[in-house]
């Protein structure tokens, strides 16, 4: 087309030309940046491998669909251990082994029922047993009036006759104004962990605990409870947020309302399972160990996809990625699939116990540990447990991670499985991968923690970010004066 005899480039051609210029400019950035910063080029290659050839998503599908849930002590947890060791071997670990760990064995059974009696709209409640709960006596139904509390200390202030023979509803929601959902979870977890014993001490016959999620839905979210040794054990169940909210209102309107509860969960003798470990020996500092991992066990009402199937496949993918790009670690890298994080953390404690013994009796030193146990969502950064100098060193990575929208480098909360390593002397650097957590507790410990609720690209970005942190620690950790 011409205007006044002059050619005019069409708007489409302009758009295409503009996009071509932008693409060409972007294509030149990595090579220019790589020449000025070798770490940047290495990190770019890690992300390229994870996004173009990643196997994390398929590994997660196999773990969740072919194996399923992996409750500690269950046959499926043992099957997952065998699977994890095979993957580590196939990805080229120099050696693999099982570190024995004695774990609890508990089943939720096939019955968890609760109904209300005495309101204008009685209904069945959505509940599930809390992990480790006893069943109702003789697996039969118990029934009692309801006491609603939001704080455990409320029970101590109540006259005993107002609690005796009743069922306590712990109805404190996660704090909605906290942006960090992990902090909101931590602020409400005492009622789940200690509520049953607090209720029993006050004379109650059972406990219902509001599910720990911001979502208002009918999904009960399980999780571990801890009975006090010297207090009678009573059955305890998680109740959905919709039903907890409704029940709290109904008790106000109908003070004589009663709730029935029936569960047939039970505990068995402990069994031996173990942490699955793969080791890749370092070329320069083989006696200095960098540990990374997630937990292989999961709760049994979903598939453990986000918690913590994502962390397991992140861990496996780090080995695959680094082998694929031809990386050779300076330090020895340990890939650990921890057992029993959900209801005891016996795997993490055993690993730290063995580490302490090795440091005391040999030249081995555990210099760093990383954990992925916050879901398979898009990575945002890292949680750091380390002395000031090492924490500052990790925070200096911000410019390297900026191209990947990873910006958070905060102190504290690196992870449950690696936290016992804090007791080692010298203390290792601990890092926890920190994905976006706004939706995590929608799925956490519920029947919705399934493969279909994990996004492939977000999972792959998490694996790449995890791998990049391993490499940076391997490259930058101060060399300790220990013999090879």
Structure tokens at 275: 């942490």
Q: Are both 69 and 161 inside the same structural domain?
A: no
Q: Evaluate whether residue 10 is within a structural domain.
A: no
CB 102 within 8 A of CB 275: no
Domain boundary among 217, 243, 264: 264
Q: Are both 297 and 426 inside the same structural domain?
A: yes
**CATH number of 180's domain:** 3.50.30.30
Phi-psi region of 169 (alpha: psi -120 to 50; beta: other; left: phi over 0): beta
Tell me if residue 3 falls in helix, strand or coil: strand
Q: Are both 245 and 168 inside the same structural domain?
A: yes
Per-residue pLDDT of the chain in tens (484 residues, 90 and over written 9): 333 444 433 444 444 444 443 444 444 334 333 345 789 999 999 999 999 999 999 999 999 999 999 999 999 999 999 999 999 999 999 999 999 999 999 999 999 999 999 987 899 999 999 999 999 999 999 999 999 999 999 999 999 999 999 999 999 999 999 999 999 999 999 999 999 999 999 999 999 999 999 999 999 999 999 999 999 999 999 999 999 999 999 999 999 999 999 999 999 999 999 999 999 999 999 999 999 999 999 999 999 999 999 999 999 999 999 999 999 999 999 999 999 999 999 999 999 999 999 999 999 999 999 999 999 999 999 999 999 999 999 999 999 999 999 999 999 999 999 999 999 999 999 999 999 999 999 999 999 999 999 999 999 999 999 999 999 999 999 744 444 4
Instruction: Give CA angle at 381 (380, 382), nearest 5°.
Output: 145
Q: Are both 102 and 113 inside the same structural domain?
A: no
Q: Are both 52 and 162 inside the same structural domain?
A: no
Q: Are both 438 and 327 inside the same structural domain?
A: yes
Q: Evaluate whether residue 424 is within a structural domain.
A: yes
**For position 120, what pLDDT does the model report?**
78
Q: Evaluate whether residue 241 is within a structural domain.
A: yes
Environment class of residue 157 by beta-carbon count within 10 Å: exposed (0-12), middle (13-18) or buried (19+)?
exposed
Q: Are both 307 and 430 inside the same structural domain?
A: yes
Please name the helix (run of DSSP H) or strand (run of DSSP E) that holds residue 99, with its range, or none. strand 95-107
**For position 36, what pLDDT does the model report?**
52
Domain boundary among 226, 241, 264: 264
Q: Are both 102 and 114 inside the same structural domain?
A: no
**Nearest of 164, 110, 168 to residue 139 by alpha carbon:** 110
Backbone angles phi, psi at 358, to 5 degrees: -65, -40
Q: Evaluate whether residue 222 is within a structural domain.
A: yes
Domain boundary among 232, 264, 296: 264
Q: Are both 130 and 233 inside the same structural domain?
A: yes
Q: Evaluate whether residue 1 is within a structural domain.
A: no
Q: Are both 279 and 217 inside the same structural domain?
A: no
Q: Evaluate whether residue 356 is within a structural domain.
A: yes
Chain centroid to CA 199: 28
Q: Are both 260 and 341 inside the same structural domain?
A: no
**For position 119, what pLDDT does the model report?**
84
Q: How many whole angstroms separate alpha carbon 145 and alpha carbon 168? A: 9
Q: Evaluate whether residue 15 is within a structural domain.
A: no
Q: How many whole angstroms separate alpha carbon 116 and alpha carbon 118? A: 7
What is the number of domains present in the chain? Answer: 2
Q: Are both 234 and 307 inside the same structural domain?
A: no
In terms of residue numbers, what domain contains 464?
A: 36-106+269-476
Backbone angles phi, psi at 442, to 5 degrees: -70, -30
Q: Evaluate whether residue 377 is within a structural domain.
A: yes
- Rg, C-alpha atoms of the chain: 26
Structure tokens at 68: 């399923």
**CATH number of 93's domain:** 3.40.630.10
């Amino acid at each position: 087309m011409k205007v006044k005899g002059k050619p005019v480039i069409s708007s489409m051609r302009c758009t295409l030309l503009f996009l071509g210029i932008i693409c060409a400019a972007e294509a030149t950035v990595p090579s220019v940046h790589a020449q000025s910063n070798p770490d940047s080029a290495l990190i770019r290659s890690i992300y390229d491998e994870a996004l173009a050839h990643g196997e994390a998503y398929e590994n997660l599908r196999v773990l969740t669909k072919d194996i399923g849930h992996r409750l500690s002590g269950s046959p499926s947890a043992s099957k997952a251990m065998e699977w994890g060791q095979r993957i580590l071997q196939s990805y080229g670990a120099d050696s693999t082994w099982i570190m024995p760990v004695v774990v609890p064995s508990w089943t939720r059974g096939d019955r968890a029922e609760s109904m209300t009696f005495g309101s204008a709209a009685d209904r069945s409640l959505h509940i599930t047993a809390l992990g480790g709960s006893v069943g109702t006596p003789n697996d039969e139904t118990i029934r009692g009036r309801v006491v609603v509390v939001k704080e455990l200390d409320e029970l101590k202030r109540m006259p005993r006759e107002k609690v005796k023979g009743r069922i306590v509803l712990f109805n404190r929601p996660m704090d909605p104004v906290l942006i960090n959902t992990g902090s909101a979870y931590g602020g409400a977890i005492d009622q789940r962990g200690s509520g049953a014993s607090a209720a029993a001490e006050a004379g109650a016959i059972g406990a219902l605990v509001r599910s720990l999620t911001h979502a208002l839905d009918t999904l009960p979210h399980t999780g571990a409870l801890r009975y006090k040794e010297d207090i009678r054990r009573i059955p305890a169940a998680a109740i959905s947020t919709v039903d907890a909210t409704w029940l709290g209102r109904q008790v106000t309107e109908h003070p004589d309302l009663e709730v029935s509860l029936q569960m047939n969960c039970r505990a068995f003798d402990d069994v031996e399972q173990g942490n699955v470990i793969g080791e890749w020996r370092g070329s320069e500092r083989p006696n200095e160990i960098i540990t990374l991992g997630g937990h292989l066990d999961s709760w049994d009402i979903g598939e453990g996809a986000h918690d913590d199937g994502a962390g397991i496949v992140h861990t496996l993918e780090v080995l695959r990625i680094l082998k694929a790009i031809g990386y050779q670690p300076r330090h020895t890298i340990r890939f650990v699939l921890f057992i029993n994080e959900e209801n005891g953390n016996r795997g993490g404690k055993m690993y730290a116990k063995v580490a302490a013994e090795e440091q005391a009796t040999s030249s081995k030193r555990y210099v760093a540990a990383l954990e992925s146990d916050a879901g398979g969502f898009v990575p945002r950064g890292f949680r750091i447990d380390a002395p000031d100098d090492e924490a500052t060193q990790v925070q200096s990575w911000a410019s390297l991670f900026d191209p990947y929208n990873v910006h958070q480098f905060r102190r504290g909360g690196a992870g449950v499985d690696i936290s016992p390593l804090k007791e080692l002397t010298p203390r290792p650097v601990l890092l926890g991968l920190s994905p976006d957590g706004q939706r995590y507790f929608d799925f956490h410990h519920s029947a919705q923690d399934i493969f279909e609720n994990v996004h492939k690209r977000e999972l792959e970005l998490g694996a790449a970010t995890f791998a990049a942190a391993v490499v940076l620690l391997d490259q930058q950790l101060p060399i300790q004066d220990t013999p090879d």
